[in-house]
A and B are shown apart, each in its own frame.
Chain A
């Protein structure tokens, strides 16, 4: 067993944490766990790859268009598939099925447009995916950048929740009606959350592209592992998601090297089952109390 497992685990874990954070952004004010999130990450990777690699746009232009595009599509999911179902009944299984339906539509649509071949994406100029040896680990500059950027992003988002707007988000999560009375418009907040959660998923796709390649098959695996990170790290808790992401990334890398790469997902799944069996609300507490 080599120390490379740790490097691989941290890189993959950072990506899973980012997916989990995109779940959380969307979940906190809406209590909706978007089943289309995995495909949105994939879409972000594909759009960015097409613009930056295939069309040769500068990376920042491609990035902006990707974030806006995926964000708006997610907003559309809220307007078409989630808000109408939630208006009919607050609790209920409706949005599980409608967001899953959105996921199927996106996956099939993207597959039709781009086909199965992955697109290689190079990181912007000073960063490269060329590997070198660092403390016995084989890493690339981009991988180090990715791990550090993830930490920065998680901390930055936690700061946002401390602001006035951020507190409004949490208020709606606690009690939709009470927040309404205080002048917070839950529907508008919900639309914003979908937009931002989607844009973040797009960003995750962009960041994942140089590591995983942009391919239409990315969705389901990222959905599963993003969920794993979010659930193990306690839903809504972004720092928890980061640590859980690392845990899952490393476990997966271990499983792949000890057993076989084919067992990766089974190992992650078992880990999630065990954690939830012992700590139903994840490793990092229970941020919100449910009300009767």
Chain B
């Protein structure tokens, strides 16, 4: 139902798009060259340009700008003032407008990027509100209510463009903009944007910086707004404060929501529909904001992916159901699963010394030591709330440590961000899988390669050959990894529609895709069936066989006993015991802490390890009880 980032391009689809381009470009031939229809068509093009940018920002990157009209206003005022008052050429003035719009955007966005999404929404809303007042107040610059009059159309090779020429220019720019943004959405940046929106922690685990991605989306959106503003000024020839009220921003938001947030055609469809509707709304002028509000509300509730999303789900429902793969049980193991050769991985060592972390008065980690040799599997077990996941989060820098050392491959990681540590070769999975539900399984694996891709932003947007061949190479590798973990048959399914057990495997493939040399698995066996558990165990063995280091947090002690060469038991944030699995599980104190006294009367997990030498278990001082 929702947009897949990478859609295979079918021939009919390409033909339809080519036909649409021809139709758009041929339109002025059918219209009165000085008529109202051409005026409206040009305006539609201007709004499509702005909407494409806003859709990238709000729809894909999930950062709702409630003041987008202000950024269009910057482009429009810059172009109008520089051409009319200072005699600049349109092109230079427009460029200045775009740069100014982007700069203002960065300034506006900087403080909010470290905070929740809604801060950004609020700051843009406030900015638009302030800006609206300022263009009236700052008469010296903006000429107040009178506005800037007499903006001239641009000239190309010495010819001043007529209305049809302006239309063509706008149409070509809109088409190119659409193409550029679509290339971007299909790329690692697109996957990064969706990750920032749906699962920021997954973005970080893949080595992508959410703050940088948000900034990128915002700068691109502001640039599009600046371009739209420049043509807005040209097309209307007059720029006044009345054009840029709060209503104007809401209008753009509604355009994008109506077409479909996070869909490729959403901004185009939304703008098109919106241009047909105002004719109907003229009688309801004073009710306009109510209508806008009701429409926004209804769309978000009943059609969160707008008209495009609704059309797509209708289409999916009407299409005759082909051989449903879900009919077969989800657990069947594809025969080829085990036979994928992968290059060897040189595992990273992990050394944790006296690691401490408290939340308020609660001590989550009270001085934990852990040592994992390269290429081995270390398990961390312990009752709920003993600090296992906190340990992973501190090692991965998702939480800042209070004190202690974390050495990854012998290097201290202090001061590195989660995405930088991911770049050092630390991969991870999450307790509840953090997959991007609206992307395909294959795209989710490709997200893992975020940091490995070398293609530049420009190369990606322009689809230069180097970028395209890199994409093809990584795609092949991602398919191979999906086969390696045994879910290759699901590559094109949406991640949200794959069974839970598969989602865990996809997360492991994503970590491997990122070139992880140490993989932290957070309760990978939770919720798996017996068959799936077997597959997981085999997979971990094969990853170990390649040479990678594995750190596993797990409650399933049979699994731990069978694959781990070293077990650490945490209890209330301190190491209760550590050593070889047989020895640790034979230790009475460990079992008491883990399973309660009653467990002592039953058998220990794994082998009946009564005879294992308890002397092997190193037990540090008793746990200090804190924060209770």
Contacts and interface: CB of A to CB of B under 8 A. Distances in A.
Interface of A: 33, 35, 80-81, 84-85, 88-89, 91-94, 96-98, 100-105, 107-109, 112, 220, 224, 227-228, 231, 260, 262-263, 265-266, 269, 272-273, 276-277, 280-281, 289, 292
Nearest to A282: B115
Nearest to B292: A104
Contact of B297 (A81, A88, A109, A276): A81
Contact of B115 (A109, A272, A280): A280
A96 B118 contact: yes
A228 B127 CA distance: 12
A101 B300 contact: yes
A33 B129 CA distance: 18
A108 B121 contact: no
Contacts of B137: 260, 262-263
Nearest to B112: A276
18 contacts: A33-B118, A81-B297, A85-B300, A92-B198, A94-B300, A96-B64, A96-B117, A96-B118, A102-B297, A104-B289, A108-B293, A262-B133, A265-B130, A273-B107, A273-B123, A276-B123, A281-B115, A292-B398
Interface of B: 58, 62-64, 66, 107-108, 110-112, 114-115, 117-119, 121-123, 125-127, 129-130, 133-134, 136-137, 197-198, 201, 246, 250, 253, 257, 261, 286-290, 292-297, 300-301, 304, 359-360, 393, 398-399
Contact of B110 (A228, A265, A277): A277
A281 B137 CA distance: 31
Contacts, number: 130
Nearest to A94: B300
A110 to B, nearest CB: 10
Contacts of B64: 93, 96-97
A205 B188 CA distance: 49
A265 B289 contact: no
5 tightest Cβ-Cβ pairs between the two chains A and B = A104-B293, A276-B111, A101-B296, A262-B137, A108-B290
Contacts of A80: 297, 301
Given A35-B121, A102-B293, 19 more contacts: A35-B125, A92-B62, A96-B64, A100-B250, A101-B292, A101-B293, A103-B293, A104-B250, A105-B290, A107-B289, A108-B293, A224-B126, A227-B126, A228-B126, A262-B133, A265-B130, A273-B108, A277-B111, A292-B201
Contacts of B304: 88, 94
B133 A280 contact: no
From A96, A105, A224, name the one whose CB has the most chain B CB atoms within 10 angstroms.
A96
B296 A100 contact: yes
Nearest to A287: B360
B340 to A, nearest CB: 31
A82 to B, nearest CB: 10
B270 to A, nearest CB: 14
